[in-house]
Chain A
Amino acid sequence: MDLLERRNWMGLLARANPERLGDLLGDLPEHSFARAPEIGTVMVQGRTGGTGAPFNIGEITVTRCTLRLASGTIGHSCVQGRNKTHATCAAIVDALMQDTPARFMERILTPLANDASQSASLRHAKAEATKVEFFTLVRGED
């Protein structure tokens, strides 16, 4: 996944653990809200039979926010859950990444991506350990 692409870094920020994101960001740079963090829902859709026509499964809670840094750059976020600090931090990093990607890539996004891949491989390893290895008993009939 190319984290220098905006949709990818925004996705990573939305899926990040809020406390971890806050720790990595540290003190928040000066910013003003164009749209203060707001809690709402998004209706999640699935597809009939996995591939067919869409249908509504249910909603998830989300928090979204839009802000402007002192540089004038605008950052957006829409993150799962009801954590306004998470939405604020995600929008700030979205703006910072537009200004100086290399710096914040290393400081924030790479550690978040490492966290995500670690927890994915942990789950995969546990799942893999429960994979069935069938063997057939030799029967004495022939």
Chain B
Amino acid sequence: MYVAVKGGERAIRNAHAWLAEERRGDPDIPELTIPQIRAQMALAVNRVMAEGSLHDPDLAALAIKQARGDLIEAIFLIRAYRTTLPRFGTSTPVDTADMAVSRRISATFKDAPGGQILGPTFDYTHRLLDFSLMANGDPPAAPKASADPQPVPHILSFLDTDGLIEPAPHSDATPRDLTREPLELPADRALRLQALTRADEGFLLGLAYSTQRGYGRNHAFVGELRIGTVCVEMEIPELGFAVDIGEIELTECETVNQFTGSKTEPAQFTRGYGLTFGQTERKAISMALVDRALRWRELGEDDQGAPAQDEEFVLSHCDNIQATGFLEHIKLPHYVDFQAELELIRRLRAAASEDAE
């Protein structure tokens, strides 16, 4: 039974007015601007773009401001906005080998051609609070070194040349699209990668960690982690050729994992893959580990019953907007449902006390 109850309008209106006031905070403190959030909270902006599945730093910064820094709420705003826009088309697949890298490291090859480039990383910091950031002051300029740009080929391509790792053969198959059709299982790898790249970072981190601790272990090395910008190119129908329509920052992680092989096939390393919007390396590494764990069937491995191997479990629970929508709805009025439960428990108790008499 559904009973409409009215009477909350004034309370809701006033709650929203108070929310707006709280969002602004103390009026004696200068208000945050969108460019400030975009520039100085860049990693939060990147996370909102990755999980909001829409690359637009200004909109992500606006969403963070509107959501008072609640990133899942901000991601929700971005997902909602995205649905209002027409889609003009699909890019040609980005070429990550041609990335202008700001960071590129390998945990497997010390002397990788192109070198190990640390970039603007938190690694090797001491994780001590820097109280100088509480005072105003500009940091010293980052040092520069001159050298001609060198190509930075994918490190795994060297293993590939020797046949030591499974190939990632080129294909132009049109991938299924989660934003256009509901998730159907079993999913192929392309659909899983789309779900993982927009998945909740915390959920993926937990699952990836579980594989390292033995729940679907696949012993991953980070073969290569790279962050940088790539051009986005799209075929323009009116012109009949493809043009660059912009440039975005991506994080790519390729893992080298333990072997497949048989009596007839020589042993080969296997791969996991992560590719995410922005500088989001924890997410990209997690994605690669979970991608690899989900490939157990294809690689002829045992189902250990581990959560990270369970495609239905992972794909049905990795989206934080679906999750928070269902979770948070239980705080909304359920008066009638609960009334039914109350009636039931009273009847049960009455029946029990009659029996006792």
A41-B88, A44-B94, A125-B144 are known contacts. Are A10 and B189 too (CB-CB below 8 A)?
no
Task: Assess the A58–B277 pair: CB atoms within 8 A.
Answer: yes
Contact B94 A127 (CB under 8 A): no
Can you show 9 pairs from A to B with CB atoms below 8 A apart? A7-B243, A11-B231, A40-B88, A60-B246, A64-B88, A78-B243, A128-B117, A130-B120, A131-B117
Q: How far is the CB of A46 from chain B (nearest CB, A)?
A: 5
Interface residues of A (CB under 8 A from B): 6-7, 10-12, 14-15, 38-62, 64, 66, 76, 78-82, 120, 122-132, 134
Total residues of chain B contacting the partner, CB 8 A: 85
Interface membership of B47, Cβ < 8 A: no
Q: Which residues of B contact A39 (CB under 8 A)?
A: 85
Chain B 264-314 interface residues, beta-carbon cutoff 8 Å to A: 271, 273, 275-277
* In the complex, residue of chain A having the shortest beta-carbon distance to the beta carbon of B87: A41
Residues on B close to A: CB < 8 A? 49-50, 52-56, 58-59, 82, 85-94, 96-97, 100-103, 110-111, 115-120, 142-147, 149, 154, 156-157, 168-175, 177-179, 189-191, 193-194, 197-198, 231-234, 236, 238-239, 241-248, 250, 252, 254, 271, 273, 275-277
Contact A127 B101, beta carbon cutoff 8 Å: yes
Using A42-B88, A46-B94, A60-B54 as known contacts, list a sample of 6 further A-B pairs with CB atoms less than 8 Å apart, ordered by residue number in A.
Answer: A43-B179, A45-B92, A45-B93, A46-B275, A50-B252, A128-B144
Given contacts A15-B231, A41-B88, A123-B102, whether A80 and B246 have CB atoms under 8 Å apart is: yes
Q: Which 6 A-B pairs have the closest CB atoms?
A: A80-B246, A49-B168, A11-B244, A52-B168, A125-B144, A55-B190
CA distance A123 to B119 in the complex (A): 10
Minimum CB–CB distance from B225 to chain A (whole Å) comes to: 12
Residues of B within 8 A of A38 (CB): 86
A76, B86: Cβ atoms under 8 Å? no
Please tell me if the beta carbons of B88 and A132 are within 8 angstroms of each other in the complex.
Answer: no
A36 to chain B, nearest CB (A): 14
Query: Which A residues touch B88, using CB under 8 A?
Result: 40-42, 62, 64, 78
A61 x B85 contact (CB < 8 A): yes
Across-interface contacts of A58 in B (CB, < 8 A): 49-50, 52-55, 197-198, 277
